[in-house]
Amino acid sequence: MGSQALTLIDRLALINSTTSIPRIGFGVYKIRGPACTTAVIEALSAGYRHIDSAALYSNEQHVRTAVEQSSVDRKDVFLTTKVGSPTAKKSRASDEDGVYREVVDSVDRIAGEDGYVDLLLIHVPGPSRSHREKLWAAMERLRNEGRAKNIGVSNFRVRHLEEMREYATDWPPSVNQIELHPWCQQRDVVTYCQTHGIIVEAYSPLATGTRLDDPTVQGIATKKGKTPAQILIRYALQKGWVPLPKSVKPDRIRENLDVFNFDLDQDDMTALDGLDEGSKGAVFKMNVD
């Protein structure tokens, strides 16, 4: 996939939907308070049109403030949040209505009581099938009510996606957001998703910055006149993933978006493919088999 095939305004069609998702998004993990609002406003100003949050991040309300204060119309922003993390505050109830209420609360925080999200995800598979079923039922209900335009999952392995066939009204989910970068490629999950039309989102596409000094990445960056971060983001794009880089620094926010004026040749892609370490290369090892 060359540079002519990718532009900042590209979008990918979502399955079981009439809508589409931008090819790159801005993540806000561990960015909280006014810093989150400032970062999201900066990201929207730079050209991002896809913001990814979660109930677990404790910053949904700050994302909402940023979207409201931004000069970009809400209809032009693709807004995502994630629900159902066992490490978030305990649900007020385990019954279906209680779970539904928790999901509604999350959408209210990020979009307002009359608002909607473009994508609502189950954050992690969680402790049990019962947990997943109740969350998915609540999310299907919100989608039917127009408060979630699309619904999907995060950190689901192939077995979780297969299990969904037994309880999901509409299958497959629109998206599976997983950790992806050259050192953790989760090829079985990616292949499964792409075979079934599930969009693959890549969180931590920079491996949280821990591998930017890798000699292979450095060599390609020098050859292309780009930063290691830009090489990793471009790699994700050419793999067909939707990368979600994050930063609070205005120059880095813009730098991470400046990835549409070059491409990686087949030798570059092969070299980066060869860095895969499987689950050992994951930053968030609890979410990778």
User: Which of 48, 57, 192, 235 is flagged as catalytic?
Assistant: 57
Nearest to 220 by CA among 182, 185, 257, 251: 182
Nearest to 81 by CA among 25, 126, 127, 41: 25
Question: Would you state the pLDDT for residue 94?
Answer: 64
pLDDT tens, residue order, the chain (289 aa)? 444 579 999 999 999 899 999 999 999 999 999 999 999 999 999 999 999 999 999 999 999 999 999 999 999 999 999 998 655 455 444 678 888 999 999 999 999 999 999 999 999 998 889 989 999 999 999 999 999 999 999 999 999 999 999 999 989 999 999 999 999 999 999 999 999 999 999 999 999 999 999 999 999 999 999 999 999 999 999 999 999 999 999 999 999 999 999 999 999 999 999 999 999 999 999 999 9
Element of type H or E holding 200: strand 199-203
Strands across the sheet with 26-27, in order?
A: 26-27, 50-52, 78-83, 119-122, 151-154, 175-179, 199-203, 242-244
Question: Token pair for residue 282?
Answer: 């994951």
In eight-state DSSP terms, residue 280 is G
SS3 75: helix
Say if residues 3 and 260 touch (Cβ distance below 8 Å).
yes
Instruction: Give me the residues paired with residue 117 across strands.
Output: 148
Nearest to 236 by CA among 189, 267, 272: 272
pTM of the model: 0.94
Question: Token pair for residue 112?
Answer: 């307002």
Question: Would you state the pLDDT for residue 226?
Answer: 98
Amino acid making up residue 40: V
What share of the chain in percent tops pLDDT 70?
Answer: 95
Catalogue the E-assigned strands of 89-159.
119-122, 151-154
Domains, the chain: 7-211+241-249 (3.20.20.100)
203 is catalytic: no
Question: Token pair for residue 208?
Answer: 């949280």
Element of type H or E holding 36: helix 34-46
Q: Classify residue 189 as exposed, middle or buried by CB count within 10 Å of its CB (0-12, 13-18, 19+).
A: buried
Q: Which residues contact 159 (CB under 8 A, 6 or more apart)?
A: none
Nearest to 43 by CA among 23, 72, 19, 20: 72
Question: Would you state the pLDDT for residue 95?
Answer: 77
In whole angstroms, give the CA distance from residue 85 to residue 257: 29
3-state SS track over 155-197? CCCHHHHHHHCCCCCCCCCCEEEEECECCECCHHHHHHHHHCC
In whole angstroms, give the CA distance from residue 259 to residue 205: 13
Q: Is 123 annotated as a binding residue?
A: yes
Question: Token pair for residue 90?
Answer: 């305990």
In whole angstroms, give the CA distance from residue 191 to residue 261: 27
Q: Classify residue 145 as exposed, middle or buried by CB count within 10 Å of its CB (0-12, 13-18, 19+).
A: exposed
